Structure formats: C-alpha cells, structure tokens
Structure 1
Amino acid sequence: MKISINRLKKYISHTESAEEIGALLTQSGLEVEGIEEFVSVKGGLEGIVIGEVLTCEKHPNADKLSITTVDIGTGVSPIVCGAPNVAKGQKVLVATVGATLYPSDGDSFQIKKAKIRGEVSEGMICAEDELGLGASHAGIMVLDTDLPNGTPASEFIEIGQDQVLEIGLTPNRADAASHLGVARDLKALLGRDLDIDAAPELKVETSGPTIQVQVENAADCPRYAGVVMTDLKVGPSPTWLQNFLKALDLEPINNVVDITNFILHDLGQPLHAFDAAKISEGKIIVGKLPKDSKFVTLDEKERKLSGEELMIKDSKGGLCIAGVFGGVDSGVSDSTTSIFLESAYFSPDIVRKGSQFHGLKTDASFRFERGTDPNMPVYALKMAVKLLQEIAGGKVSSELIDIYPAPIEDFVIEVNYGHINRLIGKIIEPSQVKSILESLEIKVENETAEGFTATVKPYRVDVTREADIIEEVLRIYGFHNVELSENLRTDYLAEHPVKDLNKLQYRLTEILTGQGYYEMITNSLTKSTYAEKSGFLDPKDNVVIYNKLSEDLDVMRQSLLYSGLEVLARNINRRQTDLKYFEFGTVYHKAEEGYAESRRLSLFLTGKKTAESWLEPTKGFAFADLYSTVEAILEKLNVQPGNLSMVETAPYAYGLKIMLGQKELATIGLLDDKILKQAEVRQEVWYADLNWDLLCKKAAGLKKFEEISKFPEVRRDLSLVIDKTVSYDQVKSVATKFGGKLLKRIGVFDVYQGDKIDASKKAYALSFHLQDQENTLTDKVIDKTMSKLIQAFEKEVGALIRT
C-alpha cells in the first residue's frame, strides 16, 4: 500500500522527514518497506531551459531539417531541428548539451554536441513526447511566456514532487488502508491534532433523473448511500489530482473516475459511479442474480455468476459485482453527463465470496473484504460531490439516499489495568493508558482503580477484545520502551513438543542436497482427474475447492506424486532429463468427520546417474540408488524400519513397502507407465513416498557414536544359495539376530541367478565385518561366530552354504 507524504501533511502538520515518519509507523505496526521519490515528469526537466529561436534556415544537405540559432540565456547555440513548425521568434524548450531526456515512449538518452548532415548542433528543441509531457510528436512545443531566456523549464511547467511510503499492511489493519487511517496513527504517535474537513451540506441544485434504491438483504448490505449528479463534463483531471494518483502508481482515467479513486485512497471508502442514463427504469436493486447469469465486467470479459455474489442491478440485469468490479454497460464514458454515485458498506463475507469466485482482486475488494468504516459512506459521498462540483462542474439533482436500517454499534470492552501491566511486562500509569487510547479515538469510561470500559468505533475491526486494547496501548507506547529484565522467564499456555520438527526437516534437507537432490515446492491444488485415473487414489476422498480458480486446480492433492511429476515433465520437455528431486509437503483427504491432512516426503529419480564421459559408460538410476537414500534418511533420524514386503500395485510397476509396526512408513519403486503417461513423462521414474508425520514421531534424535576401536576389524565372506522367495531383508535379520555384538556390518557384494544353480534358487555373496571393542579377535572366536551364523542361515531360511 502506498501513502503520499504530501497528502499526509493535509491531515497532520509535521516537519519530520519521510524516514522519521517511516520509522515511527514501523514501530507502531505499520511496517514501512520502502520510501520512493516521485516526480511527475521523470528527470524533473533538469537541463531543459526556455530558449528563443533567433534564426531559422533550411539545412543545405537535408530537405526536412532546419538550421536554427537559439538564445538559451547563457549564449546562442546552433541547433539542427527536424520539426516542421519551427520558426524564427518562437519561445521553445531546449534540451542543452548534457541533459538527459526521458521520452514518453522509448529509452532515455543524453544530449550531446553533434554534427547532423555536416552541420553542428548543440542541443535539441523539444516536442511534448520527447520531454515525457504527453504523446504528441506533431512538432516542437511553442510557448506563450515572457520568462527570460535560460529560465529552467521546471519554472514554467508545474512538476509534482512527492515522497511515497510503501507500507506492508497486515490483514488485521483494515483501518489503515487509507491516508486518513495512517494519519490517525501518526496523531497518536506525534501527539498532534488531525485536520479533517467538515462534510459540506448537500443541496439539490437542479432537477435530474430519479433513482430509487431497494436493498433486498440488509445482512449483505447494512448501509447503502447514493446521490444523483447532472451537468457533468467528463474530461482530464487537474494536475494535482493526476499527480496524486500517479504517485500511488495509479493511471488517471477521467475526472469522475479519478475522484472516486482519490476518495478510496484518501478516506478508505470505495465509491462507484454509474452512468444514470444507463440505469433501467431508474431503479437500483442491491441483491443477487440467479446462478449462471451472464455479466460483462469493465475488462470486457463475460463471466458466469455463481448466484452467491452480491450484485448491484436494475430491472434488466447486473450493473456491478458489489464491492468488487463494475459492469461495462453502466460505466462512466466521455459522453456521460449524469451519474448515480454509490457509497456503501458491504458485508466483508459477501464481497470475499464474489472476489474469490471470479478471481478479481481490486482496490475496492481489498478494503471491503477486510472491513470498511460503516460510518464513512455519507461523509465520503459528500466529499466526492464537492470535488465533482469543483472539477467536473456537476450539480446535485437528488436528495441524498441513505439506507441504514440497523446501525452498527461501537465495540464495548472491559479492560483491567492489571492485565495491561502483566501482558506488556511493565507498569504503565493509568493516565498514560487513557491518553494513548483517546489519541486513537477509543473512549475510556467508567474508570475505577482496577480498570475501565473502552468504547471502540466500528472502523477498528481488529479491536474487539481486551487483548486488542492492550496491543493498542503497547504499539503506541513503543515496544522499544519496554526494558528487558535481567532475569528472564516465560510461561507457556500450551505444551511444546521436545522435538523441533523444523530442525529435523533441515537436517534431512542437508543430507538430500548433499547427495545431489534439489528441493521443489509445488502447488497444493491439483486436478481431480488425477485421482479418477490413478488406480490408487479414491476420487471420493478429494477435497473439492468450491471457489476454484480453474478446472486444472479444482481439488487439494491426495499425494505428492502428480505435482512432482509435473515438475519432472516441465524439466524433461526442456531437455533437462537427469533429475534428483525431493519435496516436503502436505496432502489432504476427506475424513469421517470433515477433512484430514498429513505431511509426506517424496523423492524422485529419473534419467542418468552419471554424466556422459569418455572414462566410463553412462548408467541410469536404479532401485538401489533410491533405497540407499531412504536408508540414509532412516539412519539420520535413528529410526529402525520394520517388515519389508513387495509392492506391485499402482502407482508402481514394482517396488518395496517398509512398515513400522502396523503402520506404513514408506513405499519405494519404479512408477508404472500408466501413471507416467497421465503426467506426460516419457522416461523411467523411481519414486519414494515417506510418511513424514510418522518419521517425526518416531525420530529418536541424534545417532549415538562410539569411540573408534583400538582393535582391528575382521572380514569373512559367505555364499548362500536360497530360494528366490527369500528376501535380503530376511537374511539380514537372521544375521543381526545371531551374529551377536561382534557383528558390526553385513553387505552383499554379488547376486547370482543362472544355469549353475536351480532355477528356483539364487545365490548371495555376503560380507560380514566383525570387531571387538576391547580385544583382538582370535581365529577361534571368529570361527565360532561364523559357525553360529551358518547354522542360523541353514535353519531359518533354508540356505545352502557354497564352498
């Protein structure tokens, strides 16, 4: 949100710099993110002076050029000019050598001494567009002025200058979404009075079209005000108004629309001007239209209504989506001479519905959605009428309409002094508390030694509880004025987990990036068709978005798989085919009561494991590459996996399931071609899906490390012939169980299946690493351990030991 320092000075007198004002506002909760310098004419016309053409002759070497001599006050400069209207005796604007021009269209450039077709040129006689003053390039600007030659152009042409605060407005501070709102805070911070103009009286000046207003539901529109104005002359706004809007990065349109925008940013009250001649049967109705009714907005897009948005309509149909966006058929145009000017207070909920459904975010909806001041519509309307009378020549031609059947009451809050001092952490005198609150237009009544009653105007939608009152006291008193105690202590209202889940996630991120993975963050919204065609997700569990932005983003994701595949597809389509990605994300589904969500960790591998090289052939990623990553994750979190089982169902062509007790901890495998086809991925993808919530719950902290043994490690190898149905995990479990404390590691260095053994069998070549922390291992101890392992393998998994 942008705030003009010049406009703030109209409300509150101050000599503080923009930086000092920014610091004060930031300390009070209105964070000033930056300060910009605004100049209505870029460059400020520096180096541009008034000159007088002394002579003008045709260029000897060019038919369309003239050679002039121009008095620029400090001397006479020869200038070659291509304008058809240049002539002797004219007063003109001259860009002197060294000046930088910022044209209306194109890049800036610097004026240099030059030779043009053989003739010296020391400057440039300027057209309107070359100075950034307009779009005309028909010829040079010819001035009607008695100012002496050499006078800076900025003394002839009014240049607006301002400093603009960029405020990062938090959602709760709807009251500060205007210059008046910011000035109210400055009043409290500086201890000065606000200068607010009294509302002028409205008198009917002439007759005009009669407009009747009907509000169908007062809950959606608690207050609706309006007035008819005639004899308007639509045209450009005066310079001061255009400069105000430009400083806020708004484009001036015409005097009527500019005035409504001025009031919105100045007072925080959105207005809307309807062409009165286009209101059918002279009746405005505030209500809803049937679902699927068609309505064309000001951007000339046809929209289908949901039936839930509030509309301003007439007997023929919609004129405006209330509080959001006007219609193309009822807007103000150059031919408009009479308007119906609307100023209303709409329910934040109803405006948010319309804005969200149509994906329309406007300055008006921004304010209505957060809550405007129900006491402002009539004042803002009168101030706008005054400007329309002054700027557009309008006349009031109807009585002011104000439909307000149930006025919104002030908030009444009981406040305890003890609570103020306890929560702020410092004793603040009651008199100072009262002074701060009253400077914020909060009444303090029914005072006692213990507390008081605070009455808050309804424009402060964020101040409805005792804690809010205390926050108001603290932000004006100043956080920096609350000293820190030498002995700090804190109380907790809720239990805090011992584990820091952010640290766990960061720890794994370090591991994964160290292995060459890149993190991705994808959209939580996805296509419902993914679940319908997946074969493993239930479409009935989709969490459907009612106000969906598009058909491709109509449900919350049930899995991280498809959003990750979309990232792979985008990269592969751009010839980035060797990819390692991971993502921490939340998935959503319907539950027995309402909805449920859980956190997952996904891993993706696709393409080549090694880059193309003359040293060795390239290798593609394999199951072991992904499984080793999962093992590293479990080891880092000190989680011992449970049973393993094969997976041959969607989304995998084949894979592995890791259990932890009765719960599924992870699945790892090669994705099925049907799944890849849905995401338009045309190469093999390895995918792992881990239950991050379960991992966090079972994480046992940092792994404990032991001192390096002084005694050497011994390796022994065995070759086992076992049934194909026996998994390595079963073999490893047997080894771990019977190997005792001497067995430190077990590994597989070869797997064989072929004609030298039975077709139903396979052979594992295993390495066993033995070590004693206290003694050197003897052959007798080693042989005893290995013998025990051999017997266990023969008995537990039916192994045949090859010699």
Structure 2
Amino acid sequence: MKISLNWLKEYIDIQDTPEALAEILTQTGLEVEGIEKFDLVEGGLEGVVIGRVLTCEKHANADKLKVTTVDIGESEPSQIVCGAPNVAAGQVVVVAKVGATLYPNGGDPFKIKKTKIRGELSLGMICAEDEIGLGDSHEGIMVLETDLKPGTPASQYFDLAPDHIIEIGLTPNRGDAISHIGVARDLKAVFEKAVKWPSVDHFKVDNHELPIAVEVENTEACPRYSGITLSNIKVKPSPDWLQNRLKAIGLAPINAVVDVTNFVCHEIGQPLHAFDANQIKGEKVIVKMLPEGTKFTTLDEKERKLGAEDLMICNEEEGMCIAGVFGGIKSGVTNNTNSIFIEAACFSPDYVRKTSMRHALKTDASFRFERGTDPRITVYAIKRAALLIKEICGGEISSEMVDIYPDPVEDTAINVKYSHVDRLIGKVLERSTITGILRNLEIGIENEDEQGFVAMVPPYRVDVKREADIIEEILRIYGFNNVALPDHISTDYLSDFPLIDREQTQFRTSELLAAMGFNEIITNSLTKPNYARESAFIDDTKDVAILNKLSEDLGVLRQDMVFTGLESVAHNINRRQRNLKFFEFGKRYFKKENGYGEKVGLSILMTGSLEDENWINKARQLEFYDLSSVVAKILNKFSITNITNTPISGGLFVFGQQISLNGKEIVAFGKLSTETTSQVGIEEEVWHAIFDWEYLLKQSVKGIGFHEISKFPEVRRDLSLVLDKKIEFDEIRRIAEKSENKLLRDISVFDVYEGDSVGKDKKAYAIKFILQDQYKTLTDKTIDKTMDRLMKSFEKELGAIIRK
C-alpha cells in the first residue's frame, strides 16, 4: 500500500522526517517497506526559479536572438541570451539558473552552463513549458501572472513540492488502515493530534429529477447499500491537483468521475463505483445473485461465467457490476455520460473473497472488501464524492440519499481487566495512559472501575474481537521499545536438547552442496493440481486442497518437490542459463486416513553440462554417475553405511536407483522422465534426487564413529571379473565386505568392458581392492590368502570368471 506524505499531511499535522515517521509507523504495526522520493516533474525543477525580465535588446550578431537582463532574486541581475520570439521587458518568466539540470519532454536531460552565444555572455535560460517537462508547447517562453518575488522556486508556483511515498506492507488484519485517513488514525493515537476529516456539511439535494430505486435481496452478502444520483454533469479530465494525488501513489488518471471515486477510496478507505445512470434499465438497482453460468462482460472486455454465489449489482434486465470486485463494460462512465449513480456499500468479505478468487480478479475494491470495510461511512463517502464531482464537473444532486441498512452493526463490547493488561504487557501502566490510548484509537470506555472497564470497539476495527486484541492495541501505541527487559529473564520450562542440531546439520549440508557448485532455491509449497492429476507417481486423491486459494495455479500443497523445483529450472533455461545445479530443503504434504501429514525432503536437480567448456576441457553433459557421486558424498557426510541399492525405472524416473537403510528408502535418484519434465516445458535431460531428510537425520545420530588412522602401509590389488550383464557392482561390493571385513578398506571399479572377447550377455569389471592392517605390515602370504578367498567367493556366488 502506498501513502503520499504530502497527502497524509492534509489530515494530520506531521512535522517528522519521512524516515522518522517510517520508524514510528513500523513500531505501531504498519511496517514500512520503503520510502521513495517522488517528483511530479522529473528533477523537481531544482535550480529553476521565477524571474522578471528587466531589459530586452536585440542581439548585435544574430537577428533571431535577444539579450536580456533578468532579476532572479540575486544581488545582480543575470544576463541571458534568449531566442524566443515572445520575450519582452517586464515579463515574469521561468528561469533555469546555471547548474540546473532540465528534463525536457521528448529529449535527453541537459545541464545549464555559463556560456557565450554569438559573443554575448549567457548566465541561464528562460524556459518554454516543454523544456522543463510541464507540457508540449515550444511556441515561446512561459509568461506568468504572479506576485511571487524573483528567485522564488518555480516548483512553488506550479505546486510541485517534492513528495515522499511510503510503502507499507499491510498485514491482512489491518483493513482499517488501507487509506490515508486510516494511517492518520494510528498517528493520532501516537502524537495525540486530531484527524481532520474533509467537511461535507454543505452537501444538499438540488432536485429530485433522477430517482433510482434500490433493492437488496441478499442482506447477508450486502449489509449496507447507499447511493445517490447526479445529473447534468460534464465528464472531463481531472484538475492538476487531483491527477497529481493519484499519480503519486501509482494510479493513472482516467476522467474526473472515475478519478474522484479512486481518490475517495484511497482517502478514507471506502470503495465507490459510479454507473452511467442512463444505462440503469428500469431506473432500478437490484443487489442479487444471478443464475450459475450467466455470461457477463467486465470492464477489461473479458466475458466471464458467473458462479451461483457471485453477488451482482443489476438493473431490471441484466447485471451491471460484480459487487465489490469489478464493473461491467456497459454501465461504466464515458466521456458522453451526463448523469451518474454513485454507490457505496459494505459487502461481506467472505462473498467478495470467493468471487475475486473464482474469477482471478484482484482490484483496489476487492483488496479492501476482503479485509472488511467500515459500514458506517458509506453515506459520508458518497457525500464527499458527490461534492467533488459537482465542483469539477458541474451538475446537480438529483435524488435523495438511498441508504438500505436493515441491521446496523453495533460496537463490540469487550471486558478488560487491568491485571491482565499488566501481565501481558509486562509493565504496570498508568490507568489514564491505557484509557487515553484507547480513546485516541476511537475505542470507547464504559463502566470503568478499579478492576477494569468495558471497551466499545467500532465496527471498522474488524481485527479487535477479544481482550488480548485490546491489550495489543495498547502496547503497539505505547511502544514495544518502552517496555524494559528485566535484569534476569527466567522461564518455567526446560528446553529440549536434541542429539543432533537440525539447523546446524542442514547448514553444513548446504555448505557441502555449495562447495560442489550447487545453488540453493526456495520454492512455493503451493502448486498446480494438474501436476498430480497428470503424473502416475502421485496419487491426486491425497492432495491437500486450499479452501481459500489465491488462484487455480496455487490450489494445492505439493506432494512432491520435483515440480516446483523444475519450474525454477525452466525459468533459468528460458533465460539461457542451461548449466544448473539446484538444491532445496522443503516440505511435502499429503492426506492420511486420520488427517494430514508432512515430510521434510532434500531435493537435488541437475541439468546441462558438468562445467563450462574452456581451453583445456570440453563441455561434457551430466551423467547418472555425476548425480550418484553427489548422493554418495551426502551419505558419507552422515556416515551412512550398510545400505541397499535397488534399480528403479518408470513413473518419475526413466532409470535410477533407490538406496534403502534398514528396509526403508532414504533416497531415490536418477534421470527424470520426459512425461515429468514436459509438464513444465523442459526438453533437456534433468537429473533428480530426493532424500527423506527426517529419516536421514535420525540415522546420522547412530552412524557417526571414529577410529585411529593406521600407521602401516596399504596395499592395492586388482582383479578382472567376467560376469553376467545383469550383475551390478553393488553385489560384488556386498560379497567382498562379507568375505573380508578386517583387511578390506576400499573397493572400486576402474574399468568396465563389454564385447565379443568376453562373450554375449557378459561384461568384465576391473576392480581395485585396498587392503590394510591396523596393527602390522601385510605380508605377501596374507595378501595372497585374502585375494584367494575373495576370488573363490565371487566364483561361487556370482559365477565369475577370473581373468588372469
């Protein structure tokens, strides 16, 4: 939400700097995310002043130039050479002094310098409107009618005082603060200064020539509806002051009627809508639901199908507006409109939120109605808007105020005990301080005694419903920083100290992956339902659906981390970043028989080349063993041993491996199927691993061990085994470790051969064995005996042929 500081100052007297004000707002719960200086004209006309032409003579060396002397408020007049045909002595003009930078319309910025033009000294520039960015005219210099003294900043004449825009990250519960006066109400409590609401006392009905009847069929969805008509208006562009207010907060001016409704919305927080009264068929407005599937074209020229619970503003024949969300294309105000009907309503947040999500429409109006608006200011808002429209567009107020409010919302009564206030704040405040803060927040105090009081909360504070909320209001205005910490902080519970520090372990694993060239990503836990529906490896019946989803693309919680990670991969590939290594710690969610479950996973994604090509190495595409190496290093980091490898294929992976420990899967990894990658538009090969992080943490506590490094040398022996193709190295490793668990330190493959020389359906492994004794030097006899035992085990259990 953007707040203009200059605009805010119209409602409350503020002398603080923007930075100091930002700190105060943040402390009260309106967190300021940024402050930006805003100039209506680029550069803010800095160095540009009002001047008076004292003399004007023809240039001796140029027929079209004149030499002037101009009073710009300094000790001596400035000589300026000017080429404008309309310059003359006695004029009040706009002068850019030496050193000023101008930002002309349709041109590059330029700096005014002391110079000579055809031999005559020129100390500045008399400006046309396009040269200072105020318009498009270049027919001559600007000639002003003003009593301002020479030297007065031109920004003062043009009312272009620099502004500061405060960006507030509004929390969903603070719907009362979504306006300039809403923010001013909080500052009122901090500074104890009055908020000046614009007066509407001079509002009056001019005639009754354009009555519009109103009927509300669903008062649950629309507790209050107010409206009035104006006739004989002339729609035209808004005056500069109104356009400038809207531009400051990022809104584009449209026409005076629409601009006024936007202005009032951002001024007091009440959305308004103006209808072309000539388009209200039957001269009647009906607030109701239309049948499911009814087609309706909105202002953005899109045809939409209405839901059965979409509240509509209708005339006697058709819908005109989606209530609280978006207007219809037929009934909007145009330049030909001469009479209007202005509505201000209080719509149910639940109805507006569901409709806004159903149609994927997020507007200024829906943003406010979803959080709850003040049902008591609809009439005031209409009066304020009607008076502004009359002032700008002329016309008359041509009907009585229609105000349908069958069940007025009462203040919420909340019992508050002083003892509870003292306990939750942690400091005993003066009772007058407590009640004074609440009264400044427009919360009434009744039945006060020594024990407490009854707080009467107005309906616009939709977030204050219980005693704790009242205490929070007191504390945020009193100031969290004003509650001192005691010398000794104690607790009535003992913290649990786990065997393994989860955060530290995750950080160390992240460091390991970063050292291998990986980048960490954090993706949204919300994802598309279609991912589960179109994937054979995910059961979409176990999807956890979001009841108040923001959009269809964020409709469920993810069951698998692969798709949200692939979206990041696709995003980078589409921007020509093709060699990618990503990892992510995140949660997966699913339905269980009795409720819901979640698991923490570590996801790894790799695509492209292992490294960029250079003068020594050529680029090599990633392979399965590159990913396998990463997995092995992570398992080694956790000292995971005695694992079981199982080949996997189909579903998520074209091929890969599953590693289990004690019969439970700890990681699955391999090459992703094209069915999976194509769902996010990826054509490249992608390698993926997913760890059960929770199970990995539990097993790491058991697996970490240490032993003394041997002082005696290790010995290498190589074997070449001819085996069936289907036999994997993991089986060789398992048999070797079972046959020799004392001297065998390491076993690895350094070559694999398949061909005619070893026979059909056969392959040859060249295997390296590292032997070492912890307590003595190995002899040839011991080594030969160990290798002989290993060869016999391979021959017996695998049918291996030992190549010699």
TM-score after normalising by structure 2: 0.86
SS state at 2:389 partner: helix
Whole-angstrom distance in 2 between the partners of 1:576 and 1:16? 47
SS state at 1:749 partner: strand
Q: Which residue of 1 aligns with 2:378?
A: 377
The answer to whether the Cα contact below 8 Å between 1:53 and 1:91 also exists between their aligned partners in 2 is no
Query: Structure 1 residues 599 and 59 mapped into 2: Cα distance closer, same or farther (>3 Å)?
Result: farther
Q: Larger deviation: 615-624 or 548-557?
A: 548-557
1:221 Cα shift? Answer: 0.9
1:364 Cα shift? Answer: 2.0
Report the AA paired with residue 66 of structure 1.
K
Q: Which residue of 2 aligns with 1:175?
A: 176
1:719 Cα shift? Answer: 4.5
Q: Which residue of 2 aligns with 1:72?
A: 70
Whole-angstrom distance in 2 between the partners of 1:60 and 1:23? 60
Q: Which residue of 2 aligns with 1:46?
A: 47
Whole-angstrom distance in 1 between the partners of 2:441 and 2:13? 17
Whole-angstrom distance in 1 between the partners of 2:462 and 2:321? 26
1:374 Cα shift? Answer: 1.6
Whole-angstrom distance in 1 between the partners of 2:453 and 2:713? 79
The answer to whether the Cα contact below 8 Å between 2:499 and 2:701 also exists between their aligned partners in 1 is no
Whole-angstrom distance in 1 between the partners of 2:272 and 2:531? 44
CA distances 1:722-755 after superposition (whole Å, capped 9, x unpaired): 4443332233233334533554433233334444
1:265 Cα shift? Answer: 1.8
1:225 Cα shift? Answer: 0.8
Whole-angstrom distance in 2 between the partners of 1:128 and 1:396? 38
Q: Which residue of 1 aligns with 2:323?
A: 322
1:519 Cα shift? Answer: 3.4
Q: Which residue of 1 aligns with 2:166?
A: 165
Name the count of aligned residue pairs: 799
The reply on whether 1:433 has 2:431 as its aligned counterpart is no
Q: Which residue of 1 aligns with 2:752?
A: 751
Query: Structure 1 residues 308 and 132 mapped into 2: Cα distance closer, same or farther (>3 Å)?
Result: farther
CA distances 1:165-203 after superposition (whole Å, capped 9, x unpaired): 332222221111122222222222223444446653753
The answer to whether the Cα contact below 8 Å between 1:641 and 1:658 also exists between their aligned partners in 2 is no
The reply on whether 1:216 has 2:209 as its aligned counterpart is no
The answer to whether the Cα contact below 8 Å between 1:636 and 1:703 also exists between their aligned partners in 2 is no
Q: Which residue of 2 aligns with 1:28?
A: 28
The answer to whether the Cα contact below 8 Å between 2:226 and 2:345 also exists between their aligned partners in 1 is yes
Report the AA paired with residue 262 of structure 1.
F
Report the AA paired with residue 65 of structure 2.
I
Report the AA paired with residue 126 of structure 1.
C
Whole-angstrom distance in 2 between the partners of 1:643 and 1:21? 63
Query: Structure 1 residues 692 and 316 mapped into 2: Cα distance closer, same or farther (>3 Å)?
Result: farther
Whole-angstrom distance in 1 between the partners of 2:479 and 2:146? 54
Query: Structure 1 residues 591 and 482 mapped into 2: Cα distance closer, same or farther (>3 Å)?
Result: same
Report the AA paired with residue 66 of structure 2.
T
1:296 Cα shift? Answer: 3.6
Query: Structure 1 residues 663 and 614 mapped into 2: Cα distance closer, same or farther (>3 Å)?
Result: same
SS state at 2:650 partner: coil
Query: Structure 1 residues 608 and 254 mapped into 2: Cα distance closer, same or farther (>3 Å)?
Result: closer
Q: Which residue of 1 aligns with 2:469?
A: 468
Report the AA paired with residue 79 of structure 2.
S
SS state at 1:284 partner: strand
CA distances 1:624-656 after superposition (whole Å, capped 9, x unpaired): 211111122223244457432222323433222
Whole-angstrom distance in 2 between the partners of 1:549 and 1:776? 70
Q: Give the gaps of 5 or more residues in structure 2.
A: none
Whole-angstrom distance in 1 between the partners of 2:629 and 2:310? 54
Whole-angstrom distance in 1 between the partners of 2:775 and 2:426? 58
CA distances 1:589-637 after superposition (whole Å, capped 9, x unpaired): 6666787665543333334335445545554332221111112222324
The reply on whether 1:276 has 2:277 as its aligned counterpart is yes
1:551 Cα shift? Answer: 8.4
Whole-angstrom distance in 2 between the partners of 1:711 and 1:452? 84
1:231 Cα shift? Answer: 3.5
The reply on whether 1:19 has 2:19 as its aligned counterpart is yes
Q: Which residue of 1 aligns with 2:226?
A: 225
Report the AA paired with residue 518 of structure 2.
Y
SS state at 1:72 partner: strand
The answer to whether the Cα contact below 8 Å between 1:309 and 1:350 also exists between their aligned partners in 2 is yes
Report the AA paired with residue 654 of structure 2.
A
SS state at 1:330 partner: coil
1:284-303 equivalence runs, <5 A: 284-303=285-304
**Percent of residue pairs identical:** 53
SS state at 1:366 partner: helix
Query: Structure 1 residues 424 and 155 mapped into 2: Cα distance closer, same or farther (>3 Å)?
Result: closer
The answer to whether the Cα contact below 8 Å between 1:234 and 1:336 also exists between their aligned partners in 2 is yes
SS state at 1:365 partner: helix
Report the AA paired with residue 70 of structure 1.
T
The reply on whether 1:356 has 2:340 as its aligned counterpart is no
Q: Which residue of 2 aligns with 1:482?
A: 483
1:67 Cα shift? Answer: 1.2
Q: Larger deviation: 32-41 or 507-516?
A: 32-41
Query: Structure 1 residues 110 and 513 mapped into 2: Cα distance closer, same or farther (>3 Å)?
Result: same
1:366-765 equivalence runs, <5 A: 366-447=367-448, 450-490=451-491, 501-522=502-523, 534-537=535-538, 559-562=560-563, 564-565=565-566, 568=569, 576-587=577-588, 598-613=599-614, 615=616, 618-640=619-641, 642-672=643-673, 681-696=682-697, 698-700=699-701, 703-740=704-741, 742-757=743-758, 759-765=760-766
SS state at 2:270 partner: coil
Whole-angstrom distance in 1 between the partners of 2:532 and 2:82? 72
Q: Larger deviation: 280-289 or 218-227?
A: 280-289
Whole-angstrom distance in 1 between the partners of 2:796 and 2:600? 42
The answer to whether the Cα contact below 8 Å between 1:444 and 1:455 also exists between their aligned partners in 2 is yes
SS state at 1:172 partner: coil
SS state at 2:737 partner: helix
CA distances 1:358-398 after superposition (whole Å, capped 9, x unpaired): 33332222211111112221222233333334444343221
